[in-house]
Chain A
Amino acid sequence: MNPSTLLPVGINNLAEIWVYLSATPLFGLTLTLLAYVLADMAYQRTNRHPLANPVLIAVATIIAVLTLTRTDYKTYFQGAQFVHFLLGTATVALAIPLARLWNELRARAIPLLLAVLAGGAASVLVAVGVAKLLSAPPTIVMSLLPKSVTAPIAMGIAEQIGGSPTLAAVFAISTGIIGALIATPLLNLLGVRDWAARGFAVGVAAHGIGTARAYSVHPRAGAYASLGMGLHALLGAITLPWLAKLII
């Protein structure tokens, strides 16, 4: 980087300070942390109400700020990438709750595997069925197919089966947010009280963002959610490209 761009010498009005700050990674990073702090405050204030989902509120706030300040996503991401990078590290960290519950999970391996197979199949069949019924174009259908699998895997699968990787990522993220919003009322309605069953179902259907919701509600639900997400990711990567050929 050119040292002269690092020193705001000669800045003499607010607009110039803004031009300077918004071009540095500081802007995207500060905006991301600030939006999350505010969204998390709202979430805690409402006693973690599902509709006050921190991802949804923070993302809406950031998009509003970026639109108002005419900042493009690329500029924002220069700063936000530092937070984005840690998503990978947090994914690795999911091994710890799984290791803590290992004996219990091993004893329950067969029911958990059957549940993730059923939940994964339901996700694909209903998504493709509804989209075809409403005559959505094939690119949309193929991008919807892997939407309950975690975003990076969903993108890879969509590319293999003739969907759009970017649309697949958007659909996966939307699935995570919608899953986090509906989980508590839906599971209450179904009378599922066990944190293990609740958490696992949220992880299978709504991957990472659902898992974040599960962690904020109960640590046991969070651990089971990360297992559900992880198993769905592994099985999805192996079976979905093959399943796509079968149903289309």
Chain B
Amino acid sequence: MLASMIRGLAILLIFQSIGEVATRFIHGLIPGPVIGMILLLVFLIVKKKIAPSISTAADGLLAHLAIFFIPAAVGVMLYVSELASAGAAWLLAILLSTAASMAITALLLKWFFKGDDSGAKKPDLSS
């Protein structure tokens, strides 16, 4: 289990490294990890098979995805006074725009997917 997890992590780190190198060539327009994700996706689709070690490592990380945002989010403490002096405009703008974006996306898909249960019929690589 742990050996498999370590092997999977090594593969993820290889793709993360390739992504970090690639992002230099496009002046950081797209972050390294995002490029790494795209390259790994292409690799898995071409191979048509997901190695159990990669699955183990990925599922382990993604089950607790929330923890990885904590260190950066604590950085908000540096801007508390700046944000307080900016008033509530930014908070209201964020609340309303996030709700609007989520609602429009969800309603459009609800309408598009009406009567389409392709997800239920085709299990393909999913479990």
Q: Are A91 and B106 in contact, with the CB atoms below 8 A?
A: no
Shortest distance in angstroms between B112's beta carbon and chain A's nearest beta carbon?
4
CA separation between A126 and B59, bound complex, in Å?
35
Interface of A is mostly: helix
| Known A55-B66, A100-B127, A126-B93; contact A192-B107, beta-carbon cutoff 8 A | yes
Contacting A84 at CB < 8 Å: which of B13, B31, B68, B113? B68
Q: Which of A54, A92, A116, A192 contacts B37 (CB 8 A)?
A: A92
Q: Are A140 and B89 in contact (CB under 8 A)?
A: yes
Binds B, one of A2-10, A13-21, A199-207: A199-207
| A23 CB within 8 Å of chain B | no
Q: B79 an interface residue at 8 Å Cβ cutoff?
A: yes
Q: Are the CB atoms of A86 and B124 closer together than 8 Å?
A: no
B112: chain A residues within 8 A (beta carbon): 108, 111, 114-115
**Contacts A93-B57, A99-B45, A175-B94 hold; do A66 and B62 have CB atoms under 8 A apart?**
no
In the assembly, what is the distance between CA of A79 and CA of B110, in Å? Answer: 44
Residues 60-89 of chain B, each 1 if its beta carbon lies under 8 Å from chain A, else 0: 011111111111111111110011001111
Question: Is A158 close to B, CB under 8 A?
Answer: no
CA distance A136 to B77 in the complex (A): 21
Cα A140 to Cα B28 in complex, Å, equals: 23
Give the CA-CA distance A130 to B92 in the complex, in Å. 7
Contacts A127-B97, A152-B31; A209 near B15 (Cβ below 8 A): no
Looking across the interface, which residue of chain A has its beta carbon closest to that of B41? A95
Given contacts A94-B37, A209-B66, whether A144 and B71 have CB atoms under 8 Å apart is no
Residue contact A205 to B101, C-beta cutoff 8 Å: yes
Name A178's contact: one of B69, B89, B98, B100 (CB within 8 Å): B98
B101 partner, pick from A93, A122, A190, beta carbons under 8 A: A122
Contact call A92/B93, Cβ cutoff below 8 A: no
Taking CB atoms, residues of chain A closer than 8 Å to B103 are 186, 190, 201
Query: With A59-B74, A119-B101, A192-B110 given, is the CB distance from A103 to B69 under 8 Å?
Result: no
Can you report 26 residue pairs joining A to B where beta carbons are below 8 Å apart?
Answer: A32-B67, A32-B70, A54-B66, A83-B68, A84-B71, A92-B36, A96-B50, A96-B55, A100-B125, A101-B125, A123-B101, A126-B97, A130-B96, A134-B93, A140-B89, A153-B31, A167-B82, A174-B94, A179-B102, A182-B99, A183-B102, A191-B110, A194-B113, A200-B109, A201-B101, A209-B69
The 3 A-B residue pairs with the shortest CB-CB distance, nearest first, are A119-B105, A80-B71, A201-B106
Q: Which residues of A contact B (CB under 8 A)?
A: 28, 32-33, 35-36, 40, 53-55, 58-59, 62-63, 66-67, 73, 76-77, 80-81, 83-84, 86-104, 107-108, 111-112, 114-116, 118-120, 122-128, 130-131, 134-137, 140, 144, 147-148, 150-153, 156, 166-167, 169-171, 173-179, 182-183, 186-187, 190-192, 194, 196-198, 200-202, 204-206, 208-209, 211-213, 215-216, 220, 222-223, 228, 230, 233-234, 237
Q: B residues bordering A, Cβ < 8 Å?
A: 9, 12-13, 15-16, 19-20, 28-34, 36-38, 40-41, 44-45, 50, 54-55, 57-59, 61-79, 82-83, 86-110, 112-113, 116, 118-119, 122, 124-127
